[in-house]
Amino acid sequence: MSTTVTSQSGAMLDATAAAGRAALIGYIPLGTPTPDLAIEAITAMLDAGADAVELGVPYTDPGVDGPVVQRAGEAALAAGTRVRDVVRVVEALKAHAPAAPVLVMSYWNPILRYGVDAFARDLAGAGGAGIITPDLIPDEGRDWIAAADTYGLDRVFLAAPSSTPERLRITAKASRGFVYAASVMGVTGTRATVGAAAERLVADTRAAGADHVCVGLGVSTGEQAAQVGAYADGVIVGSALVKTLQTDRPWTQRLDDLQTLTAELAAGVARSRKDA
């Protein structure tokens, strides 16, 4: 790590490791289906066993988002969700669950338009943990790295199965909190199996210097969460959770569905090290 700033995500991952399990990190887009209802959904997810939150910022050109997350982002933008909504949503989530890190996952352009320093300042002021930047590489992230250091935020960069050893070293050195290991090449979405390359990528990323490595893209069941949690510090689930909110069922039933799946995933990570 490049600084001695305390990492919310790192502290959470240390705590779950001490408890003998991986962490469960749940992704919900900011305006799914509105910012206020997203708060309800995320608090329900936290109450059902999620350890941390990825709060997605909807964007018009979502390069790594699969169809489920794309639909959620399009609906959120059409309903008027904007980047400025991040602050009040994060504040509400931290008031509900102060110990749960809330990371914003955003493409770089919305943050650039908001202002890198201003976004970091406002996110930190709301209690946010940091930012996951899927389309920003460390080589081009000097402004963000500086702002993260100024405001004590985690900065999570991505590693892919195609990443070279040198790229992994650069990514591990620049990241704080954890490195996001993409289990497969491609976009987000539920899959029948998690890519076999994920375990090797986690090992290679740790060997490159990463303190914590969390795996995302494809996890959708408790069994998959247990498999990934056996070797990763954290298991990141997005599309499967978002999908529970995209049905025609009454909102309270959708929340029940979200909590049921979250509890299944939490049970998976809870037994992950026992199964290993």
Transcribe 73-101 into DSSP letters. Answer: HHHHHHTT--TTHHHHHHHHHHHH-TTS-
Whole-number Å distance between alpha carbons of 215 and 157: 12
Question: Does 1 score more than 70 pLDDT?
Answer: no
Q: Compute the distance between CA of residue 247 and CA of residue 253 in angstroms, rounded to an integer.
A: 10
DSSP SS3 for 170: helix
Tokens representing residue 206 in the block: 């740790």
pLDDT tens for 185-243 read 444 444 445 556 889 999 999 999 999 999 987 788 999 999 999 999 999 998 899 99
pLDDT 10s digits, 80-126: 889 999 999 999 999 999 999 999 999 999 999 999 999 999 999 99
Distances (CA, A) of 85 to 129, 154, 194, 199: 16, 20, 33, 36
Please state the pTM of the whole predicted model: 0.91
Spatial separation of the C-alpha atoms in residues 18 and 11, rounded to whole Å: 11
- Whether 254 shows a pLDDT value over 60: the answer reads yes
Worst-scoring range by mean pLDDT, 66-70, 119-123, 138-142? 66-70
Order of strands across the sheet that contains 23-29: 154-156, 130-132, 102-105, 52-56, 23-29, 234-237, 213-216, 179-182, 158-159
Q: What is the pLDDT of residue 62?
A: 58
User: 199 an active-site residue?
Assistant: no
Helices (H) and strands (E) in the chain, counts: 13, 9
User: Among candidates 260, 224, 255, which has minimal Cα distance to 32?
Assistant: 255
Going from the C-alpha of 18 to that of each of 25, 108, 223, the distances in angstroms are: 17, 34, 22
Q: Is 256 a catalytic residue?
A: no
| HSE-CB for 110 with a 13 A CA cutoff | 23
Q: What residues contact 17, with CB distance under 8 A and at least 6 apart?
A: 233
What residue spans define the domains of the chain? 17-151+220-275
Kindly tell me if the per-residue pLDDT of 10 is higher than 70: yes
| Residue range 17-151+220-275, CATH number | 3.20.20.70
Catalytic residue among 65, 122, 154, 199: 65
pLDDT at 195: 55
Give the Cβ contact number of residue 71 at 10 Å. Answer: 16
The alpha carbon of 241 is separated from its chain's Cα centroid by a whole number of angstroms, namely 12
* Span 29-43, pLDDT tens digits: 998 889 999 999 999
Of 235, 203, 202, the closest CA to residue 219 belongs to: 235
Of the residues 36, 47, 54, 143, which is catalytic? 54
Give the per-residue pLDDT at 78: 81
- Residue 17: strand pairing partners: none
